[in-house]
Amino acid sequence: MWDYSEKVKEHFYNPKNAGAVADTNAVGDVGSISCGDALRLTLKVDPETDIILDAGFQTFGCGSAIASSSALTEMVKGMHVDEALKISNQDIADFLDGLPPEKMHCSVMGREALQAAIANYRGEEWVDDHEEGALVCKCFAIDDVMIRETIRENGLSTVEDVTNYTKAGGGCSSCHEGIENILTEELALRGETFVPGGASKKAKKKEALVSLDTGAPSATPMTAVQRILVIEQVLEGLRPALKADGGDVQLVDVEGKNIYVNLIGACNGCQMAAMTLGGVQQKLIETLGEFVKVIPHTEREAAEA
């Protein structure tokens, strides 16, 4: 059985806002029937103020799909549609005190339903740009499509590259065979042959950690100090959310593309640590406009020991 949080169970056993809103003016239908999830979100939006007055869901899906839908309706009620559009799937997962990696797609479905419903309210056509593939890396909830796209966009050719760009493979490493198979196929498409790392993997890996800048072009050249300041600003912006969960994050060092942080308090060591780091990294990549890797300081110590 899944390791569902109490919050997930609560929203599954006693879902809030189940059923369609009667006089809805915003409907979002999304889903993936092959993977067994589909969601109709109905909203009632005040046309004067753009405030969401009511929300209801109908879901075909598993426990966490129903819980994510319920959570989403609770989150958006009373919000301005512009605010609501800012809700990320991570926000939905956080609201539920986390989801197992295999189930993160349920929160993605919630966010997409919201986007679709608001597009419908505004008389726009919502186009889905999210494609989902089979889960490859369970440690970081990274799927096949994401790995392939990243390989193609950045011309990656080793498992280490894939780990550095997507995090896939950076945990227990049991997905390396799967990643190698994807690389073999993708490289064949480019007319190349995949060369596995072989025995010198360990040594290579360390080297890869500090030579990440191949391929990912950085948008704005910054001085080292400017970069650190920007990084600090981003962390500052995330701090309130982390503190709300009883945690915090500290910048320890910046070394090329590697940003070493200390996770403090509730986040540290818990299953959510990886998720939290993922969120921080995503934010930093967006703000800096370049690829960076956020690494817990403890891992560096371990690696160097």
Partner 1 sequence: MSDIYLDNNATTRVDPEIVEAMLPYFTEQFGNPSSLHSFGNKVGFALKNARKQVQTLLGAEHESEIIFTSCGSESDSTAILSALKANPERKTIITTTVEHPAVLTLCDYLETEGYTVHKLKVDGKGRLDLEEYKKLLTDDVAIVSVMWANNETGTIFPVLEMAEMADDEGILFHTDAVQAVGKIPMNLEDSSIHMLSLSGHKLHAPKGVGVLYLKRGVRFRPLLRGGHQERGRRAGTENVTSIIGLGVACEQAMKHMEYENTEVARLRDKLQAGILSQVTHAFATGDVDNRLPNTANIAFEYIEGEAILLLMNKAGIAASSGSACTSGSLEPSHVMKAMGIPYTAAHGTVRFSLSRYTTEEEIDRVIEAVPPIVAQLRKLSPYWGDGKPLENPEEAFAPVYA
User: Which active-site residues does the annotation give?
Assistant: 35, 106
Residues 135-154 that bind ligand FES (CB under 6 A): 137-139
The closest of 211, 215, 151 to 179, measured between CA atoms, is 151
Among 174, 233, 262, 271, binds ligand FES (CB under 6 A): 174
Q: How far is the CB of 220 from partner 1 (least distance, A)?
A: 33
CA distance 135 to 142: 6
Q: How far is the CB of 218 from ligand FES (least distance, A)?
A: 27
Q: Rg (Cα) of the chain, in Å, rounded?
A: 21
30 is a site residue for partner 1 (CB under 8 A) = yes
Residues 37-56 that bind partner 1 (CB under 8 A): 37-40
99 is a site residue for partner 1 (CB under 8 A) = no
* Nearer to ligand FES (CB atom), residue 148 or residue 227: 148
Q: Helix/strand/coil (H, E, C) string of 181-223? A: HHHHHHHHHCCCCCCCCHHHHHHHHHHHHHCCCCCCCCCCCCC
Position 97: which residue type? D
Q: How far is the CB of 86 from ligand FES (least distance, A)?
A: 30
Binding piece for ligand FES, criterion CB under 6 A, among 134-142, 196-204, 264-272, 289-297: 134-142
CA distance 105 to 87: 15
* Nearer to partner 1 (CB atom), residue 44 or residue 293: 44
CA distance 258 to 254: 6
| Element of type H or E holding 27 | strand 26-32
Count CB atoms within 10 A of the CB of residue 228. Answer: 15
31 is a site residue for ligand FES (CB under 6 A) = no
Among 25, 58, 258, 287, binds partner 1 (CB under 8 A): 58
224 is a site residue for partner 1 (CB under 8 A) = no
Q: Which does 97 bind (CB under 5 to 8 A by kind): ligand FES, partner 1, none?
A: none
Q: Tell me, what DSSP letter sits at residue 34?
A: G
Q: Which does 137 bind (CB under 5 to 8 A by kind): ligand FES, partner 1, none?
A: ligand FES
**Binding residues for ligand FES, total number by CB under 6 A:** 11
Residue that has been written with the tokens 């040594």 in this structure: 203
Q: How far is the CB of 56 from partner 1 (least distance, A)?
A: 10
In the chain, the N- to C-terminal Cα span, in Å, equals 37
66 is a site residue for partner 1 (CB under 8 A) = yes
Provide the edge-to-edge strand list for the sheet that holds 247-255.
Answer: 247-255, 258-265, 293-296
Residue that has been written with the tokens 């503190």 in this structure: 243
Q: What are phi and psi of 245, to 5 degrees?
A: -90, 10
Residues 137-156 that bind partner 1 (CB under 8 A): 138
296 is a site residue for ligand FES (CB under 6 A) = no
CB contact set of 82 (below 8 Å; sequence gap of 6+)? 50
The closest of 55, 66, 58, 59 to 103, measured between CA atoms, is 66
Q: Which does 61 bind (CB under 5 to 8 A by kind): partner 1, ligand FES, none?
A: partner 1
- Residues within the interface to partner 1 (CB under 8 A): 1, 12-13, 15, 18-19, 29-40, 57-66, 102-103, 108-109, 112, 116, 126, 128, 130-135, 138
- Residues within the interface to ligand FES (CB under 6 A): 137-139, 168-175
